[in-house]
Chain A
Amino acid sequence: MRRSLLAASALLLLALLVSLWQESRRPIPIALTPTLTGQVEYCRTCHADLPEISHSHPVETFGCVLCHGGERLALNADLAHSTMRGGANPSDFSVVEASCGGENCHSGAAADDRDHIQRATSSIQATYAGAIASLRYTFGAQPDLNARLGIYAIQAPHSASGITELAAFDPAQETNPAIRAFAQDCLYCHLSAQPMPGEEYSRFNGCAACHSPAPLFDSPPIFSENGGSQRGAHSLTTAIPYTQCNRCHNRGNYDLRSMSFVPRSDHSTSRLSDYYQPIAQFTRCEWTLDCVDCHTRTEVMGDGSLYSNKKDIQYIQCRTCHGTLTELPKTKTLTDPNHLAFRLAFLNPVIDLKLGDTVLVTEKGEPLWNIRPLSDGTYELFDKANGQRFTFRPVIGSGCEQKADEQASQDCHKCHAVER
């Protein structure tokens, strides 16, 4: 009995030591109390080396949980991540309102230019309404090209196009086999779709599809001990390079007869050949600048209305920046310190805009905040993606031979296009 008691005591002591050892392995919690929530979070205990996502979303102000969800007090990975919105991507459209919404954030009033979510979720890139309408019309499933269906159902009561709602495209309701094949093989490129497998297609969904430009990777690489964090993965930016747009665009062609996607087969060696497929000719600015330098916020994210075709929302032309033979491009002098141009320049400081500066504006009044007229009649432009400075001349005073009634970009291409 004495021996048994001694052995049992030793066993208990061992068990006590094991529990002491386990307690010593508990990570020291690293607290963060963001100013916007006032509630302490311990995400940094494991994620201390995660880079700041952007200088407009400082972690000391926002914290992590406000955008990502999750259990702020838990130090067990499964529990802490169990209530995260959208997995690793809180900007996925299924959860974007909870993550990025709010009157002072990204689902505010259009007048304050804070209605990003409403605009992005009703945009053609998100609803894919144009492709769906076009295909259904082609195969006789609808009598005209007006959009009736989108990838998801959505309503836009004040839609300028007259289309106030889209129903959800349901392949099971379609009788035409070509449309069903379309649904099977061709729905990879809208903002809520998983991209096709392959490094060249990889991107996030939702807002991050454009605003978090970085290749994806399988395992969570956020910690340095797990193989290194990839630069740019945890980032939000408006300095979007053309390579990000090219995750979906310029990747190949669709063959309507076989209802298949034919990826582009060329191997690009220069920016020119990388930018576009070898199917057309482009002017120098179209491959020297980045897509976002011309395609404005309204073009890309929509204006809150539902459209049947991307041409209904695209409106930037060569003359928007270069003017015509008789008109200079529109400009605006910035006298309001709260003007959108200053906000955009703050988000992406490629240009030092000051109160009183003049910038170009589009026909719809959108500020081309990275383009300024210079005193000698030329203009300077700062590439939004890399800050490179360009200068250009207006059409007035040049040897341009354009006609007054041929003002589309394709007319400019006749002389200014470069052989790829």
Chain B
Amino acid sequence: MRPSFFHHLHPPTIPARQSRFRYTLAAGGLAVFLMLILLVTGALEMFYYIPTPDEAALSIQTLAFLVPYGGLVRNLHYWSAQLLLVVSAAHLLRVIFTGAYAPPRRFNYLLGLFLFVTAILLDFTGYVLRWDEGVHWALVAGTNLVKSIPLLGNTLYGILVGGGQPGAATLIRFYGWHIFGLTLAAIILGFWHIFRLRRDGGIAVPPPPLRADQARITRFELVRREGLAMLLAGAALLLLSVFAPAPLAAPITNTAVLTEFTRAPWFFLWVQELLRLGSPFLWGVLVPLAVLLLLTLIPYVFPKPAPAELGRWFPKSNRAAQILVAILGLAILSLIALALIPNP
């Protein structure tokens, strides 16, 4: 059978051991799948969404309640986005805990990291596009964090918000970022990331002399496995979309008045908890950037994983990096959990 275009996107064979679900968790592939769903559902939503403060929330209500299958499209978009962040985080953790960032994959690791940041920003800009009371606090608090940056803060705020306070200009800018700027960045970074993956020799494995198991699977088998993952993920997405609709609240009527609903989106809840500790600039900007910087430096500062130990979970040679990331991950998860405990 001659390989199709889709088959040709994959290497002719890949090592059997590292192609198992228990090794990769299918995380990277699922991330690609979810991004495709986001592109399609997002494009459909563009037929109805109106990016003005008066119409935004109402257009979403129209889509969710009055357009046939509009609610389904919106819920699919929402859940694909949230699952994308979860799956991307899982992929990042997998890469670190298997030492797969070892040279020559260090640059690709950076590409992936910035792709993750782009996905987070896409999730946040999409969140703000709801322009309802559920996002009001996050919009004000998030943009105010930018203002807290010394020297550059006010200029950056002006560029981000387009005025003295969040308003019509902010919404149209966030819309522009969401459907074009950040999407373009995600597409470029994504293609580059996948190109580099193939250029760097595919999935990380020990070199042939050091490899214990020489078995391989064909690209046809690999595509079948990816198809299986997509079918299951698709089913899960549909069920989530049916039984857990995306949140919706009353439109923002006055940007100057905040309701009591003070909550960041779930992926920023850890920052919200940190902000309790004091200075917004330190805890809201510097600390998250420090976390990002730490993650960026891992392939360059920590001892490189030994080539013989690649292709398996928790190799000994990059144990320090694993421990650091485990601590960071647990800390962030704990902060998120802490934020979800209702206040007395």
Is the pair B231, A73 in contact by a Cβ cutoff of 8 Å?
no
A11-47 near B? 1/0 per residue, CB < 8 Å:
1101110110011001001000000000000100000
Is the pair B235, A82 in contact by a Cβ cutoff of 8 Å?
no
Is the pair A16, B249 in contact by a Cβ cutoff of 8 Å?
no
Is the pair A19, B234 in contact by a Cβ cutoff of 8 Å?
no
Is the pair B65, A15 in contact by a Cβ cutoff of 8 Å?
no
| B-side interface size class | 20 to 34
B217 to chain A, nearest CB (A): 10
Give the residue of A4, A16, A75 whose beta carbon is less than 8 angstroms from that of B66. Answer: A75
Q: Which residues of A contact B251 (CB under 8 A)?
A: 71
Q: Give the CA-CA distance A42 to B248 in the complex, in Å.
A: 17
Interface check A79, CB cutoff 8 A: yes
Is the pair B242, A79 in contact by a Cβ cutoff of 8 Å?
no
Q: Which residues of B contact A76 (CB under 8 A)?
A: 64-65, 248
A128 to chain B, nearest CB (A): 30
Q: Which residues of A contact B248 (CB under 8 A)?
A: 74, 76, 79
Is the pair B235, A73 in contact by a Cβ cutoff of 8 Å?
no
B44-82 near A? 1/0 per residue, CB < 8 Å:
000000000000001001101110110110000000000
Interface check A408, CB cutoff 8 A: no
Interface check A279, CB cutoff 8 A: no
Is the pair B65, A73 in contact by a Cβ cutoff of 8 Å?
yes
Is the pair B68, A23 in contact by a Cβ cutoff of 8 Å?
yes
A50-90 near B? 1/0 per residue, CB < 8 Å:
00000000000000000000010111100100110000000
Is the pair A9, B231 in contact by a Cβ cutoff of 8 Å?
yes
A14: nearest chain-B partner, CB-CB: B235
Interface check A8, CB cutoff 8 A: yes
Interface check B179, CB cutoff 8 A: no
Interface check A404, CB cutoff 8 A: no
Is the pair A42, B224 in contact by a Cβ cutoff of 8 Å?
no
Q: Give the CA-CA distance A75 to B248 in the complex, in Å.
A: 12
Q: Which residues of B contact A5 (CB under 8 A)?
A: 224, 227-228, 231
A2 to chain B, nearest CB (A): 8
Is the pair B232, A8 in contact by a Cβ cutoff of 8 Å?
yes
Given contacts A42-B66, A79-B249, A79-B250, contact A11 B231 (CB under 8 A): yes
Q: Give the CA-CA distance A11 to B248 in the complex, in Å.
A: 29
A187-213 near B? 1/0 per residue, CB < 8 Å:
000000000000000000000000000
Q: Give the CA-CA distance A14 to B239 in the complex, in Å.
A: 9
Q: Which residues of A contact B234 (CB under 8 A)?
A: 12, 15
Is the pair B239, A18 in contact by a Cβ cutoff of 8 Å?
yes
Q: Which of A288-335 contact B (CB under 8 A)?
A: none
Is the pair A12, B72 in contact by a Cβ cutoff of 8 Å?
no
Interface check B241, CB cutoff 8 A: yes
Q: Give the CA-CA distance A74 to B241 in the complex, in Å.
A: 18
Q: Give the CA-CA distance A29 to B63 in the complex, in Å.
A: 13
| A-side interface size class | 20 to 34
Is the pair A29, B239 in contact by a Cβ cutoff of 8 Å?
no
Is the pair B58, A73 in contact by a Cβ cutoff of 8 Å?
yes
Give the residue of B225, B235, B242, B249 whose beta carbon is less than 8 angstroms from that of A11. Answer: B235
B29 to chain A, nearest CB (A): 14
Q: Give the CA-CA distance A30 to B225 in the complex, in Å.
A: 47
Q: Which residues of B contact A280 (CB under 8 A)?
A: none
Interface check B95, CB cutoff 8 A: no
Give the residue of B61, B69, B232 whose beta carbon is less than 8 angstroms from that of A73. Answer: B61
Q: Give the CA-CA distance A252 to B42 in the complex, in Å.
A: 66
Is the pair A29, B249 in contact by a Cβ cutoff of 8 Å?
no
Q: Give the CA-CA distance A79 to B228 in the complex, in Å.
A: 38
Q: Which residues of B contact A29 (CB under 8 A)?
A: 65-66
Q: Tell me which of A1, A8, A29, A82 has the highest count of chain B C-beta atoms within 10 A of its own C-beta.
A: A8
Give the residue of B61, B225, B232 whose beta carbon is less than 8 angstroms from that of A74. Answer: B61
Q: Give the CA-CA distance A393 to B264 in the complex, in Å.
A: 75
B244 to chain A, nearest CB (A): 12
Is the pair B239, A82 in contact by a Cβ cutoff of 8 Å?
no
Q: Which residues of A contact B232 (CB under 8 A)?
A: 8, 11-12
Q: Give the CA-CA distance A9 to B230 in the complex, in Å.
A: 10
Interface check B194, CB cutoff 8 A: no
Give the residue of A12, A19, A42 whose beta carbon is less than 8 angstroms from that of B231. Answer: A12
Q: Give the CA-CA distance A42 to B62 in the complex, in Å.
A: 11
Interface check B110, CB cutoff 8 A: no
Q: Which residues of A contact B66 (CB under 8 A)?
A: 29, 42, 73, 75
A368 to chain B, nearest CB (A): 45
A82: nearest chain-B partner, CB-CB: B250
A225 to chain B, nearest CB (A): 20
Is the pair A8, B224 in contact by a Cβ cutoff of 8 Å?
no
Given contacts A79-B248, A83-B250, contact A73 B62 (CB under 8 A): yes
A389 to chain B, nearest CB (A): 51
Give the residue of B62, B69, B242 whose beta carbon is less than 8 angstroms from that of A18. Answer: B242
Give the residue of A8, A16, A71 whose beta carbon is less than 8 angstroms from that of B250. Answer: A71
A382 to chain B, nearest CB (A): 46
Q: Which 9 A-B pairs have the closest CB atoms?
A: A8-B231, A15-B238, A75-B65, A15-B235, A73-B61, A83-B250, A12-B235, A11-B235, A22-B242
- A-B residue pairs in contact (CB < 8 Å), sample of 20: A5-B228, A8-B235, A15-B234, A15-B236, A15-B239, A16-B238, A18-B242, A23-B72, A26-B71, A29-B66, A71-B61, A71-B250, A73-B58, A73-B62, A73-B66, A75-B65, A79-B61, A79-B249, A82-B249, A83-B250
**Chain A interfacial positions (CB closer than 8 Å to B):** 1, 4-5, 8-9, 11-12, 14-16, 18-19, 22-23, 26, 29, 42, 71, 73-76, 79, 82-83
Beyond A8-B231, A23-B68, 9 extra complex contacts between A and B, CB < 8 Å: A5-B224, A5-B227, A8-B232, A12-B238, A19-B238, A19-B242, A26-B71, A71-B61, A79-B61
